[in-house]
Chain A
Amino acid sequence: QKEVEQNSGPLSVPEGAIASLNCTYSDRGSQSFFWYRQYSGKSPELIMSIYSNGDKEDGRFTAQLNKASQYVSLLIRDSQPSDSATYLCAVTGTASKLTFGTGTRLQVTL
């Protein structure tokens, strides 16, 4: 079982809709959770971090964490074509090492 699981997609949403990206993790001791966005041919870029249960909002992005269910999600409101990218979920383990999921490819259609 992979330590961090994501649906590879592609997830296709129309422009203006809400995109919902999900991630589950296996290590109950994980403390920090991150969402990175990666455009094709580019490096991962941090867009959200979350450390406690509940929701955290930043502009059009909302991260949700449920440690009891070992579940992290990212909502993107008013999706734009520029949001089309691969979204990587990452979880911190020992020595601040990040374990990444394989990513979900999001396509925002016009």
Chain B
Amino acid sequence: DAGITQSPRHKVTETGTPVTLRCHQTENHRYMYWYRQDPGHGLRLIHYSYGVKDTDKGEVSDGYSVSRSKTEDFLLTLESATSSQTSVYFCATLGAATSTDTQYFGPGTRLTVL
């Protein structure tokens, strides 16, 4: 498994507060992804990165921004958190976009927005 850590693991915040979640990987994987997981919706892609400073939007990107200044770190920012962003957030990495490669997931961050 890829060495992926996420911080914080749990966070409670208030509506309107900015929040940044961090994903750190030690595998030198090129691709990194942020998902959110909600009951009834499964895992949905928020943003992804295909290299340092190269990012793109996923399925549910509104209200989120990302940055990747180093290969090992991918940050997800909620500029002004809302209750609808209460969720479990997973980071994933992918070594190479070959047809036989796949994504490995970090442990997740549980975010509660009050």
Contacts and interface: CB of A to CB of B under 8 A. Distances in A.
Nearest to A46: B102
A100 B42 contact: yes
B48 A49 contact: no
B90 interface: yes
Given A97-B58, A100-B42, A102-B42, A32 B100 contact: yes
A100 B106 CA distance: 16
Interface string A20-46: 000000000001101000000011111
A96 B42 contact: no
Nearest to B107: A43
Interface of B: 31, 33, 40-45, 48, 50, 56, 58, 90, 92, 94, 97, 99-108
Interface string A39-78: 0001111100101000000000000000000000000000
Contacts, number: 57
Contact of A95 (B40, B43, B56, B99): B56
A51 B105 contact: no
A101 B37 CA distance: 11
B50 to A, nearest CB: 6
